[in-house]
Amino acid sequence: MPLLTESKHFIRPDGPDKVTGSGRYVADISLTGMLTAKFLYAGVSHARITRLDISAARQVPGVFAVLTQEDVPERRFGSVADRTLFAKDVVRFEGEVIAAVAAVDAEAAQQGLDAVVFEYEPLPAVTDLEAAIADGAQLVHEGWADYEAADVERDGNIASFTSMIRGDVEAGMAEADHVVSSRYVSDASQPAPIEPRGVLAQWEGDRVTIWSSTQVPFQARDGVCETLDLPTNRVRVIVPHMGGGFGGKCGFHYEAHVAALARAARRPVRLVFSRQEEFIAPDRRREGMIIEITTGLRNDGTLTARRARVLLDNGAYSSDASFFPHMAAMQTLGPYKIDNIHVEASSIYTNRQPSGSVRAPTAPQACWALESHTDELAAAIGMDPVAFRQQNCVDTGETGVAGQVYDEIGLQDCIREAVSAIDYSQELDENEAIGVAVGWWPSFPGPSGAFVKIDSDGKGVITTGAQECGTGSVMTLPILAAVELGMEPEDFELVYQDTSAAPYDEGATGSQTILNNGRATVEAAQQIAVQLKSLAAEKLEASPDDIVLADGKAHVAGSPELAVSIADLAGVAAEGEMLLGKGSGTPPEYPSAVGVDCIGDRGLSGWVGPQFSCHAVKIRLDRETGVVRVLDVSAAHDSGVIINPIGASGQVEGGVLMGIGQALTERTVYSEDGAQENPAFLDYKLQTIADAPPIRVHFVEIFTPGVGPHGSKPIAEAPNVATAAAISNAITKLVGRPVAQLPMTAERVWGLMQGRGGG
């Protein structure tokens, strides 16, 4: 494989449509005879359905279809199969769908919903995590023992459980000169994509085409097949442009509702969420957490043992959250050298909106708790927190918490880069401080596929199952193909986001597009390179081994004048065999954890190509109001070799800004019965460009074999991990102790300074 030494900036293939406004999203698509869909939501957090009558709704003028669970197959889905498409017998959170209407317009659809008659028997709402696992607690799912789940430990309101034990924690604590315990509580928050989700379905005979703003079109297709009893070849999912996802549009759900409505109505049906629906209905929000950590250390800074307990708010259903306890467990241990560990993490059913795969699930909250705790450890022995991390963080050849020995990694370089760039030792105003935190995040290898072809004019087409959710990862695939074929990225067209046109891909989830589909694209391009070299060798009377592909030509090594253009070769190939390659990019295997007794880890204790980072943040505190302003950020990342520098930098900048919101303003406020009280941008405080500080991005580029193409690793989620933690450590320097609640709102910071909670 040619080494990727540099990549120039190029125009993203999807860029012009997006910046000119000509790009089409689901809400822009209109089909002849199209109906409008609306959902009837539970409106309460926990109740038994005693009556549900849709007969009057079906008689409303302009209504073509009304559906409940009685009208679709009885199929449960989710990582723990704990839910059906519509509520059946019991509703478990306010945004659960109990009925769906398709009508000629929004007004008629709403009239149809208003005509649905339903009655409830109220049930106690489970909203407190610790009360939910107490003896005799009200069960969110009385029939949980009958749900199917692979490799998940469950009990009562515990939806999934993980434990990790290595060494002897009690002996390690006994060896310690200091034992420090901390408790942190994080609120839930939202992915808040600017585009509310939309779904449009149209049947042609017994086949359905679905346009959906999903990050995972193949998962969406498979979910429709599973819940509506359809064979795979009868369901096609197409994704138009998508206005952001941040994990909130992962998984499957509403595609089946809309497909079922369209089949019943015999007309195309389109659903577009309102902003309030986008907040309350999807089963993807960032989980609230309680994190308790106890660490033993010696006076010289050596960590002797760590014990941790983590409770995660699973919400009413499991969606894709069954492996989150393990991710949270690894994050509370962190990229540190500790021989003795015992951590337990549980995901708890509550009567709140389900949690799901929001960008780096569990990591920002757990890292915030761990890194705040780490500064407490350093303070306990009077050691500078940066020096403490330099001493205790893993380095090349050392063993991490899961017993995994790390090949060449750049965490120590990240620490040096971040603190140097922000000038950590600078003199500061009495209301300013700099906080530092380290983070880590795994890579997720999986199956993927790509086709690459060269047309007779010498231009290329990449057909991929990968999904573009705005990160630019799919837009980077032409760079990889161009390097293999001696062409320019602009020479390639992309065909993507269509399950009937492209090979399988897991979608825009887990930072895996370049990791997995990048390998597939490279493999496909390499097959074409072999064909081109063979054609050129015949034309130039040379050996294929001596042919070099560069600058749009094939030439003999050492003799650039002996050359033929790729366009000419493609013209010759068009008369016979097609210049076509296919790749699947065999994913690397997960390394084994060594000496760790794990329950419920789902094989993720050993991390493929772990990413490391260090963020340093300078803040200013207004002591009269508790308002914290971020002044400067230095973010250093080890994500292997960077394929597309401008795209990777954009991911870090976006992740940092998202982290600032999680640190200071973003929280979902719940009533005592589990209802959201701020499902609108007026009250849910996102960061905007006006809030963005200078963000200096540094990449510690280390060639990492066996992970992504050209020694790369992922980048999309890692920048979201350490920012809140670094801000927390800066606040602590100014107020004297950690704000032990996330987000660290002005009210909480001010209250802590006044001795009124927050800690």
CATH fold of 446-583:
Aldehyde Oxidoreductase; domain 4 (3.30.365)
**Cβ–Cβ < 8 Å for 512, 33:** no
Domain boundaries, the chain: 34-123+197-272, 289-444+591-753, 446-583
- pLDDT at residue 534, rounded to an integer: 95
Alpha carbon distance 484, 724 (integer Å): 40
Q: What is the DSSP letter of 146?
A: G
Alpha carbon distance 214, 715 (integer Å): 20
For 53, the token pair is 């009558």
Q: pLDDT for 277-286, tens place per residue? A: 999 999 999 9
Q: pLDDT for 547-571, tens place per residue? A: 999 999 999 999 989 999 999 999 8
Q: Would you give the distance in Å from CA 288 to the centre of its chain? A: 16
- Sole residue written with tokens 């540099």: 6
**Cβ–Cβ < 8 Å for 406, 394:** yes
Q: pLDDT for 307-339, tens place per residue? A: 999 999 999 999 887 889 999 999 999 999 999
Q: pLDDT for 90-112, tens place per residue? A: 999 999 999 999 999 999 999 99
Q: pLDDT for 712-740, tens place per residue? A: 999 999 999 999 999 999 999 999 999 99
Alpha carbon distance 291, 623 (integer Å): 28
Is the pLDDT confidence value at 139 over 60?
yes
Q: What is the DSSP letter of 712?
A: B
Higher per-residue confidence, 402 vs 190: 190
Q: Phi and psi for 409 in degrees, rounded to 5?
A: -135, 165
**Cβ–Cβ < 8 Å for 388, 374:** yes
- How many contiguous H segments (helices) and E segments (strands) does the chain have? 17, 28
Q: Which of 715, 724, 713, 750 is nearest to 735 (CA)?
A: 750
- pLDDT band at residue 472 under the 50/70/90 scheme: confident
Mean pLDDT of 412-435: 97
Q: Phi and psi for 368 in degrees, rounded to 5?
A: -55, -45
Is the pLDDT confidence value at 2 over 60?
no
Q: Which of 401, 163, 188 is nearest to 284 (CA)?
A: 188
Alpha carbon distances (Å) from 710 to 325, 357, 587, 702, 706: 32, 28, 14, 10, 9
- Sign of the four-CA dihedral 85, 87, 93, 99: positive
- Sign of the four-CA dihedral 11, 14, 16, 18: negative
Mean pLDDT of 492-499: 95
Read off the pTM. Answer: 0.96
DSSP per residue, 446-509: --B-EEEEE-TTS-EEEEE----SSSSTGGGHHHHHHHHHT--GGGEEEEESBTTTS--B--S-
Mean pLDDT, rounded, of the chain: 94
Residue 394 identity (one-letter amino acid) = V
- pLDDT at residue 594, rounded to an integer: 78
Is the pLDDT confidence value at 432 over 60?
yes
- pLDDT band at residue 12 under the 50/70/90 scheme: confident
Is the pLDDT confidence value at 6 over 60?
no
**34-123+197-272 and 446-583 have identical folds:** no
Q: Regarding beta strands 289-297 and 432-443, do their DSSP bridges make them parallel or antiparallel, or are they unpaired?
A: unpaired
Alpha carbon distance 374, 369 (integer Å): 9
Q: pLDDT for 164-179, tens place per residue? A: 999 999 999 999 999 9
**Cβ–Cβ < 8 Å for 584, 449:** yes
Sort 573 into a burial class: Cβ within 10 Å, 0-12 / 13-18 / 19+. Answer: buried
Q: 3-state SS string over 239-296?
A: CCCCCCCCCCCCCCCHHHHHHHHHHHHCCCEEEECCHHHHHHCCCCCECCEEEEEEEE
Residue 453 identity (one-letter amino acid) = K
| Four-way CATH pick for 34-123+197-272: 1.10.10.10, 3.40.950.10, 3.90.1170.50, 3.20.20.370 | 3.90.1170.50
Half-sphere exposure of 662 (CA within 13 A, CB side): 36
Greatest distance between any 2 Cα atoms in the chain: 84
Q: Would you give the distance in Å from CA 423 to the centre of its chain? A: 32
Is the pLDDT confidence value at 39 over 50?
yes
Alpha carbon distances (Å) from 211 to 24, 105, 158, 194: 11, 19, 36, 18
**Cβ–Cβ < 8 Å for 228, 73:** yes
Q: What is the DSSP letter of 514?
A: I
- pLDDT at residue 576, rounded to an integer: 65
- pLDDT band at residue 757 under the 50/70/90 scheme: low
- pLDDT at residue 573, rounded to an integer: 80
- pLDDT at residue 585, rounded to an integer: 80
Sort 565 into a burial class: Cβ within 10 Å, 0-12 / 13-18 / 19+. Answer: middle
- pLDDT at residue 323, rounded to an integer: 87
Asked: is 289-444+591-753 a CATH 3.40.50.800 domain? The reply is: no
Is the pLDDT confidence value at 1 over 50?
no
CA dihedral 523, 524, 525, 527 (to 10 degrees): 90
Strand order in the sheet with 608-621: 432-443, 608-621, 628-638, 695-699
Sort 612 into a burial class: Cβ within 10 Å, 0-12 / 13-18 / 19+. Answer: buried
**Cβ–Cβ < 8 Å for 294, 249:** no
Beta bridge partners of 237: 210
- pLDDT band at residue 5 under the 50/70/90 scheme: very low
Q: pLDDT for 267-304, tens place per residue? A: 999 999 999 999 999 999 999 999 999 999 999 999 99
- pLDDT at residue 588, rounded to an integer: 85
Task: Enumerate residues 6+ apart whose C-beta is below 8 A from 659.
Answer: 364, 615, 719, 720, 721, 722, 723, 724, 727
- pLDDT band at residue 8 under the 50/70/90 scheme: low
Mean pLDDT of 241-246: 93
- The pLDDT > 90 percentage for the chain reads 89
- pLDDT at residue 758, rounded to an integer: 59
Q: How far apart are the first and last CA of the chain?
A: 54
Task: Enumerate residues 6+ apart whose C-beta is below 8 A from 689.
Answer: none
Alpha carbon distance 296, 315 (integer Å): 33
- The pLDDT > 70 percentage for the chain reads 98
Residue 679: asked if its preceding bond is cis (omega within 30°), the reply is: no
- pLDDT band at residue 755 under the 50/70/90 scheme: confident
